[in-house]
Amino acid sequence: MDLKPSGSLKIDTFSMRIGDIEGVELDRLHAHSLAVGWPHRAEDWQFLREMGHGFVALDEIGRVLGSAMWFAHGADFATVGMVITSPRLQTLGAGQWLMKRVFEKVAGRDLRLNATRAARRLYLSLDFQPEKTVYQCQGVASLQMTGRPANIRGDVRSLGENDIAAMIALDAAGFGVRRAALIEKLFVHSAGYGLFKGHTLSAFALCRPFGRGHVVGPVVAVSDADALAVVRPHVADHSGSFLRIDTHMDNGEFAAFLSHSGMPVFDTVVTMSLGKRFAAVPYGSSLRTYALASQTLG
């Protein structure tokens, strides 16, 4: 009888249990997102946990094999993100399973998320509708001093705590949903520049540590020129280091500025919604979100 064991063993059944993301050590969540090549640091997970809620899928010995989070704003709306299943589990139904657990918690709310290419089929099967492409622009920032500087109408200055209420109002107009708690919390971790016309805040951009460097967002403005007025100082501050901006803008002065400042398009995701659609604000006519807070947060 040949007792030589085979070099491989096929294991096609194992069970997982659902857990609250709160109870999981940050380094295990960090390892989980690293396994799919995501740049989140342990601190980024911590920030998201403080902002939202989530589930993890755990194996028999407590390893994190799946995650899904949601971030509620008001009574009627939530964003969904950090939906990850471990590579060895993918296409076996774990993504669907996690999303259905999330649905139980966000029942009755309009939902918005940003879907990677890998996830589009999953979300389509759950009736999410594609709305807009998000351009993930990133690289080593370099502010080009040549060319005509942005035509700034108003005064640009650093934002302080007294400006938070105005930022919340602008963000709500651009995003379509009021996100007071998120803006307050982002502000604590961010540097911010605002464009003031008289005493009125008319555009702003926050920038905070994230992933491989810093991320600029949210950025809210009525025009490319105003958006550039508040983003430029962040690019100057981080010149020579890694900077990222996630934007829906695919052309115009703002998009051109990003690629000329060392941040070409690295990847795209698609904003999808379930329930009320993400109302597209007519270009140039009113406040719009020029850069997302992040793909997870919207």
Ligand X SMILES: CC(C)(COP(=O)(O)OP(=O)(O)OC[C@H]1O[C@@H](n2cnc3c(N)ncnc32)[C@H](O)[C@@H]1OP(=O)(O)O)[C@@H](O)C(=O)NCCC(=O)NCCS
**Binding ligand X by CB under 6 A: which of 48, 58, 78, 83?**
83
Based on the shown chain and the rule CB under 6 A, indicate whether residue 190 belongs to the binding site for ligand X: no
**In the stretch 96-125, what mask flags binding to ligand X with x, by CB under 6 A?**
x------------------xx-xx-xx--x
From residue 11 to residue 40, what is the string marking binding to ligand X with x (rule CB under 6 A)? -------------------------x----
Query: In what helix (H) or strand (E) does residue 55 lie, and over which residues does it extend?
Result: strand 53-58
DSSP 3-state of 110:
strand
CA atoms of 279 and 202, how far apart (whole Å): 21
- Residue of 120, 113, 142, 134 lying closest to 265 (CA atoms): 134
Residue of this chain nearest to ligand X (CB atom): 95
Indicate the residue among 79 and 223 with the shorter CB distance to ligand X.
79
Q: Give the C-alpha distances (Å, rounded to integers) separating 287 from 193, 198, 200, 220, 259.
A: 16, 18, 14, 7, 23
- Report the nearest approach of ligand X to the CB of residue 43 (Å): 20
Smaller CB distance to ligand X: residue 132 or 178?
132
CB 136 within 8 A of CB 296: no
Give the range of 19-27, 89-97, 162-170, 210-218 binding ligand X by CB under 6 A.
89-97
Q: CB under 6 A: which stretch of 45-53, 91-99, 169-177, 212-220 binds ligand X?
A: 91-99
**Cis amide bond preceding 130, omega within 30:** no
CA-CA distance, 230 to 201, in Å (whole number)? 11
* 121 vs 197, beta carbon nearer ligand X: 121
154 sits in the region (left: phi over 0; alpha: psi -120 to 50; else beta) called: left
Of residues 102 and 115, the one with the C-beta less far from ligand X: 115
Which residues in 145-174 contact ligand X (CB under 6 A)? none
Residues that bind ligand X (CB under 6 A): 36, 83-85, 89-96, 115-116, 118-119, 121-122, 125
